Structure 1
Amino acid sequence: PLAEKHGVTIETSGDVAVSVGSHALLLQMTMNLVHNAIVHNLPERGAVWVTTGVRSRVVVLAVENTGQKLPPQMAATLVEPFQRGTGRTHTDQAGVGLGLAIVKSIAEAHDGTLTLTPRDGGGLRVAVQLPAAPPDTGR
């Protein structure tokens, strides 16, 4: 409903990517990423892409969106509490600028990493890497 309200399409793809950790925290992390990708997007016809994958012993959740162009130095500040891409939190946008700070804390609590990369055409790619769950031994 939020994406529809903002005129944003969401596409998902990828492989099953299993990690070990707090279900509630990992769900909150994912919800924060998707929410941010929706509300910090183009005013019309925006898009969000959510992909998952497994590389060696690491699982990756990547959320990308369309949006304004961001300089690399600004992307690095978005994980700071109360910081937002358009400046400080005193705007008409929903939220207070804690979403990515929370995502970073959850990723780190699960021995993972968070990477923010501006997209060439505008918007942001946010990738969380977490340790993959050990293979099922059948026990």
Structure 2
Amino acid sequence: MDSLLDRLHAVNVRAVDLTEAQLMLSRADQKTFTSEPVDLSLLLDEAAETLLPLAEKRRVSLHTYGGVADAVGSRALLRQLTTNLLHNAIIHNLPEDGRVWARTEVGQWSIELIVGNTGETLAPDLISTLTEPFQRGTDRVRSGLVGAGLGLAILKNIVQAHDGILTIAGRPAGGIRVSAVLPAGVGG
């Protein structure tokens, strides 16, 4: 009976997570948010602090840097962007001694959030599908990682809702580099 309850609980949690992910996707698609000044470097620091225990548990070193990177948009959605990018970079990494680095860069008219990691070398045709809804990387099923395959699709929509561009590229040594370029805020 306990195993049945555990399975039902797991199914329920997964259904709630999927529903929340779909709501987030819809909200970003519709641009139904209030814009305000947001410093992406502060959100990146908060995400790193929150995710440091996970990184340590998985033996992944986590490095963040960059100066003030003012954007204008939804603080909640941009927090989701930074947190999910770091979380993905930690989870989809080498089994031990992996690395994640994230930084903000400020240009004349834009700001950029860049997150990179070590990991498997991924085929370009797989990378090109990662932002499509319900797509997953090759290791998701066999590694026990669960998810609906909406994470990067949501992040792409968040970036597009902020008039930005999300790009994902494989690294020759393995892992990926994700870049979110957004218009600079008033001070940028």
- 1:17-56 superposed Cα distances (whole Å, 9 cap, x missing partner): 1100000000001111011001100000000000101111
Specify the alignment match of 2:79 in structure 1: 27
- Classify the secondary structure of the residue corresponding to 1:20: strand
Normalising by the residue count of structure 2, what TM-score does the alignment of the two structures yield? Answer: 0.68
Specify the alignment match of 2:146 in structure 1: 94
Higher relative contact order (CA 8 A, sep 6+): 1
| One-letter amino acid of the counterpart of residue 114, structure 2 | A
TM-align CA RMSD: 1.4
More strand by share: 1
More helix by share: 2
Gaps in structure 1 of 5+ consecutive residues:
none
Specify the alignment match of 1:36 in structure 2: 88
| One-letter amino acid of the counterpart of residue 105, structure 2 | G
Normalising by the residue count of structure 1, what TM-score does the alignment of the two structures yield? Answer: 0.92
Specify the alignment match of 1:75 in structure 2: 127
| Residues 1-139 of structure 1 aligned to structure 2 (within 5 Å) | 1-86=53-138, 90-91=141-142, 92-135=144-187
In the TM superposition, structure 1's runs of 4+ consecutive aligned residues that sit over 4 Å from their partners are: none
- 1:100-135 superposed Cα distances (whole Å, 9 cap, x missing partner): 111001000000010001011000000000000012
Rg (Cα) greater in structure: 2
Number of aligned positions between the proteins? 135
In structure 1, how many angstroms separate the alpha carbons of the residues matched to 2:119 and 2:155?
20
Gaps in structure 2 of 5+ consecutive residues:
1-52
